Structure 1
Amino acid sequence: MAQTVNVNFRMDSALKQQMDSICEELGMSLTTAFTIFARKVCREKKIPFEVSVDPFYSKENMDRLRRSIAQMEATGGTIHEVDNA
């Protein structure tokens, strides 16, 4: 049998509670869930789901939003509501 080791990391307590609850519903422990994840990563040599950045928060978009806000504030612009009638 392989030797086991402890792995420690931090996460938000609400996230951990949710994860514990879901693992319990699935009939497994949090340790088992992370072991499954680790085995899949090792087997496939990749994260087993897509990891991406929301393009809305890209540097270019955030810079554009800042410029737009500055322009609106400098010209006294306002936000207009759209009439969907």
Structure 2
Amino acid sequence: MALATLTSRVDEMDKAAFDDFCSSVGLTASAAINMYVKVVVRDRKLPFEVRQVDPFYSATNQAHLLKAIHQLEEGKGSAHALLEDDE
């Protein structure tokens, strides 16, 4: 079986932590990445759930916030008392 090179850029500190983890379980980083690739190919999916952690940072919400900021800067906002949650 011929081998191919897979190159990826990762944060320096993440790479060091990954190398440390791999070493602690008796693997090289290359072996761990090969295991990951094999699982993805075998199962035809990522071996973990990919989801947006915080919807605050979604493109939709960021656009809403920018619009609100511009409205405030144009003097279109109004002040009101903070509403308390009764729970």
TM-score tier, shorter chain, comes to: 0.7 to 0.9
Please identify which structure carries the higher helix content. Answer: 1
Q: Does 1:75 align with 2:79?
A: no
The equivalent of 1:62 in structure 2 is 62
* Structure 1 residue identity aligned to 2:14: L
- In structure 2, list runs of 5 or more residues that go unmatched: 83-87
**Cα distance in 2, alignment partners of residues 37 and 8 from structure 1:** 14
CA displacement 1:23-68 (0-9 Å, x = unmatched): 1111111011101101110110011111123422222211111122
The equivalent of 2:42 in structure 1 is 43
**Cα distance in 1, alignment partners of residues 65 and 56 from structure 2:** 10
The equivalent of 1:13 in structure 2 is 12
Name the TM-score, length of structure 2 as normaliser. Answer: 0.72
* Structure 2 residue identity aligned to 1:47: L
Q: 1:62 and 1:5, CA in 2 relative to 1: closer, same or farther beyond 3 A?
A: same
Q: 1:60 and 1:29, CA in 2 relative to 1: closer, same or farther beyond 3 A?
A: same
Q: Aligned residues: percent identity? A: 31
Paired residues, number = 79
Structure 1 outlier segments of 4+, above 6 Å: none
**Cα distance in 2, alignment partners of residues 59 and 37 from structure 1:** 30
